[in-house]
């Protein structure tokens, strides 16, 4: 129950930071391109430094041997989620051949069903509640989720008329700084080379990594603040997608894992990884390649707001009481 209260506190903390970002955008305290700057800071600085710091200090041969099954659970989970996303997305957009816009809308829902904001938001929740050791286990579980987001997710969310060099884009997606930092950190940890890093280096990595979560939440609020709230709140399909993302899919996953006798050490990162709200990639990728961002913004705002309540309740139900 103490961890449940910590989770609730962390979600309220998250919501407050999202509200700060929203106010900064609406009051025009920051320039319009501040979202791009914050996103690049996250991608090229804070997230890689967090991953590198966590893996090089936590990923020992002993800890990896003990927890490597988390990667397998994550692989099976995301594979099932991607396969599920194809038929379910058809229920949201039945006639995708009617227009290019309808076809692209189905792709957005397809991504939303398979993947949530397991990176920025999941890291923020886990780090605040369970610390570095918990984050290490969470990163192992979400390793395949991160790869799927950078490869399959990129393929799905790029408008199809711009897919002439899709394999080049997929390779670029798999060579992102966070993934490179994670693998590098794992290698350094497994070879026990992290101990030779000077204290000021490890302290700098840890301090920079701690900035990842707060900045990510401010970024989410800043992006949402660029849209008209009334328009974002009137999309009924987004509420259904949010319910699937926040309640139905993680509930089914938890029941399956419980029936298989899965330890709570695995169920906890699995729950957070799949109970997080719909991510910002449904805004970022379409914006970068000229696709529609309104649906993604609606998904991010509605699901993020609801997750303040649903994530603590899901944790209470499936981890504390189950």
Name the band, by pLDDT with cuts 50, 70 and 90, for residue 109: very high
**HSE (side-chain half, CA atoms, 13 Å) at 252:** 10
- 66 pLDDT exceeds 80? yes
Average pLDDT over residues 277-286: 78
- Between 65 and 3, whose confidence is greater? 65
What percent of the chain is predicted at pLDDT more than 70? 92
- First-to-last alpha carbon distance for the chain, in angstroms, is 13
Could you please report the per-residue DSSP string of 77-134? HHHHHHHHHHHHHHHHSS-GGG-HHHHHHHHHHHHHHH--STTHHHHHHHHHHHHHHH
Give per-residue pLDDT as tens, 186-207: 999 999 988 888 889 889 998 9
Average pLDDT over residues 303-321: 90
Distance CA 192, CA 58 (A): 10
Here the CATH number for the domain that contains residue 94 is 1.20.1530.20
**Maximum separation of any 2 CA atoms in the chain, in Å:** 60
- pLDDT at position 216 is 84
Average pLDDT over residues 93-108: 81
Secondary structure of residue 149 in the 3-state scheme: helix
- pLDDT at position 187 is 93
Neighbours of 221 (CB within 10 A): 24
How many domains would you assign to the chain? 1
Q: Which helix (H) or strand (E) holds 202?
A: helix 199-210
Relative orientation angle of helices 236-243 and 294-315, to the nearest 10 degrees: 30
Average pLDDT over residues 130-145: 92
Name the band, by pLDDT with cuts 50, 70 and 90, for residue 145: very high
Find the angle CA(16)-CA(17)-CA(18) to the nearest 5 degrees.
90
Name the band, by pLDDT with cuts 50, 70 and 90, for residue 300: confident
Q: Taking the mean position of all CA atoms in its chain, how far away is CA 40?
A: 16
CA dihedral 127, 132, 136, 142 (to 10 degrees): 10
- Determine the structural domain holding residue 111 and report its residue range: 2-321
Contact 196, 58 (CB under 8 A): no
- pLDDT at position 4 is 74
Average pLDDT over residues 61-86: 95
- 6 pLDDT exceeds 70? yes
């Amino acid at each position: 129950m103490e961890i449940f209260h910590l989770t609730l506190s962390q979600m309220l903390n998250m919501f407050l930071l999202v509200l700060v970002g929203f106010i900064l955008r609406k009051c025009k305290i920051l320039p319009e391109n501040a979202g791009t700057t914050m996103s690049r800071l996250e991608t090229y600085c804070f997230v890689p430094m967090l991953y590198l710091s966590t893996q090089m200090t936590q990923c020992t041969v002993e800890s990896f041997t003990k927890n490597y099954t988390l990667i397998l659970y994550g692989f099976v989970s995301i594979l099932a989620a991607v396969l599920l996303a194809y038929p379910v997305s058809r229920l949201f957009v039945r006639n995708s051949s009617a227009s290019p816009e309808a076809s692209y809308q189905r792709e957005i829902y397809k991504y939303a069903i398979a993947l949530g904001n397991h990176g920025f938001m999941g890291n923020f929740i886990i780090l605040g509640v369970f610390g570095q050791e918990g984050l290490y286990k969470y990163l192992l579980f979400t390793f395949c989720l991160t790869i799927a987001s950078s490869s399959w997710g990129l393929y799905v969310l790029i408008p199809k008329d711009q897919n002439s060099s899709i394999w080049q884009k997929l390779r670029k997606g798999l060579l992102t700084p966070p993934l490179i930092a994670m693998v590098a950190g794992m290698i350094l940890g497994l070879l026990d080379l992290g101990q030779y890093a000077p204290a000021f280096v490890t302290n700098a990595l840890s301090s920079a990594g701690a900035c990842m979560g707060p900045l990510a939440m401010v970024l989410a609020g800043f992006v949402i603040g660029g849209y008209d709230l009334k328009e974002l709140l009137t999309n009924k399909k987004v509420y259904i997608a949010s319910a699937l993302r926040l309640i139905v899919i993680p509930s089914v996953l938890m029941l399956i894992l419980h029936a298989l006798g899965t330890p709570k050490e695995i169920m906890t990162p699995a729950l957070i990884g799949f109970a997080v709200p719909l991510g910002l990639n449904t805004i970022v990728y379409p914006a970068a390649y000229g696709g529609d961002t309104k649906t993604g913004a609606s998904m991010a705002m509605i699901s993020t707001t609801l997750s303040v309540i649903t994530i603590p309740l899901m944790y209470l139900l499936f981890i504390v009481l189950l």
